Amino acid sequence: MSLVTKCIGTAKKVKHRFEDEIKARTPVYVSPVRRVERVKTTERVVAMTFDDGPSRMAPNPVGEHKKGLTMELMETLEKYGARGTFDVVGSTAENYPDEPGKHGSASWGGKRYDHYPDIGHDGEGGAQVCREEIDRLISGGHEITSHTYAHVLYGWKPLVYGRRHYLGDINKAVEDLKKLHTLLKERHNYTIRLSRPPHYVDKIAPGLSSYDALSQLGYQYMAASFDGAGWLPLSSYEAEVEATWRPIERALTTNPDSLCGQIIFQKDGFNMARRTPIADGLEVQLKLLSDAGYRVVTVSELMELSPFADLGAGDDCFEAAKKLVDAGYCPAYRDNTVRPDKPMTIGELAETVFGWPAASRRVERILKKSGKWPSGLAANHPYGAAVDMAMERGCIEKSSAFDPDRPLTEEDIKKFIKALTGKMPESVSAATRGDALKALAGAVC
């Protein structure tokens, strides 16, 4: 293993440890956009995602592969009755002027921008030029998700991509997302529903994030819980291929159910050494999963089976929370947990009911720097816009000193239900989030 590879691997571990520590200290809020990493299920079902394609370029080394990488991957999936989720870009052809970065490093594809499948070869990848590949993915039952049109960072990431150009503006981020969405809708009659930000960079100035951008298109945030490797350069191609399947073998040997509901991250493109170990590793992965009784489905199929990280079929409150999601409500936190045994607050109920329509109002207020909401909440408060809408609808008494953290009462939820349905329920329980969600679902779904 090279020094560069060791450094990259160490940097990733430090980054994840740091992010875990920050996450543990950061309050979690109810949100219309949920970060979906894995879902709770006892079924042996798993999803595979493939970033940065589609690509017409042949795998490297070519070996027995005769077609472009994307075609090779989808045919391998179909050989095992599997459906993949291809997280595509539109085109990186406009990401110039630029020059090649250091081979084997995170900037291998370009110093200022990413280029797929490679710098100087942008015309051989992306949905804009790979029309046949996109049509073939759709006809094969695979899922297409958005990795943004041009794969430009949303915000600055100094540790690894400090020299990279970034958008730094939510309107530019939304415009880029819409460009790919429109391409798929108008040319292929396909509607994208999930997105993964480039390099998982979320912050967008001023005080906004990728979650705000995704909310403008009604997308969910597609993350991953299991690293399929292959992206990291190792001492040889053979070592890289083994790295794609050995962790899966190890996980299944330790606990055959350990991959239930997981989302696996892969690459539909070159790794940092400009090799494609997934081209030979995928079949081994699929055989291991198949022998263990797993089905490989799309991320949307996985979410339809079980949308949440902490609730699965048969759990109390699962059906109510799922009905609310299907009806356009927001019963879960941003980390995709429902936490039914936790008390619910009045602010959480407002976001549960008005989260999606309130998302644009919140972004607009932050961009206009309009100051506090009439409720007294700060412009960037996660529940500010939803509380504003709840007051307008008569769900909450108008107040300029509203406390969103006040525990929910039975009278609160009765008032919400009456304002939403015109009917006052006789009795409801608001003892826990689960009780409140079941009462709400019973009234509005």
Same domain, 358 and 298: no
Q: What is the mean pLDDT of the chain?
A: 94
d(CA 403, CA 89): 43
Same domain, 277 and 337: no
Is 60 exceeded by the pLDDT of residue 308? Answer: yes
Predicted confidence (pLDDT) per residue in 106-145, tens digit: 899 999 999 999 999 999 999 999 999 999 999 999 999 9
Same domain, 212 and 325: no
- Specify burial of residue 189 (Cβ count, 10 A radius: 0-12, 13-18, 19+): exposed
Is 90 exceeded by the pLDDT of residue 392? Answer: yes
Same domain, 190 and 317: no
Of 256, 284, 303, the residue at which a domain comes to its end is 303
Is 80 exceeded by the pLDDT of residue 430? Answer: yes
pTM for the full model?
0.94
Say how many domains are in the chain: 2
- What number is the average pLDDT over the span 341-363? 97
Q: What are phi and psi of 145, to 5 degrees?
A: -125, 170
Is residue 361 within 8 A of residue 382, CB to CB? The reply is no
Is residue 308 within 8 A of residue 268, CB to CB? The reply is no
State what percent of residues in the chain have pLDDT above 70. 94
Is 90 exceeded by the pLDDT of residue 66? Answer: no
Closest CA to 368 of 381, 355, 380, 383: 380
What domain range includes position 158?
A: 3-303
> What pLDDT shows up at residue 429?
93
Same domain, 362 and 265: no
Same domain, 350 and 241: no
> What pLDDT shows up at residue 181?
98
Residue with tokens 């912050």: 203
Same domain, 7 and 116: yes
- What number is the average pLDDT over the span 261-273? 97
- What number is the average pLDDT over the span 196-224? 96
The encoded tokens of residue 150 equal: 């041009």
d(CA 268, CA 44): 24
> What pLDDT shows up at residue 158?
87
Same domain, 391 and 283: no
Closest CA to 289 of 254, 229, 248, 242: 248
User: How many beta carbons lie within 10 A of that of residue 236, not counting itself?
Assistant: 12
d(CA 441, CA 74): 39
Same domain, 295 and 388: no
Is 60 exceeded by the pLDDT of residue 22? Answer: no
> What pLDDT shows up at residue 222?
98
Is 90 exceeded by the pLDDT of residue 345? Answer: yes
> What pLDDT shows up at residue 64?
84
Of 280, 303, 326, the residue at which a domain comes to its end is 303
Same domain, 47 and 175: yes
Same domain, 406 and 297: no
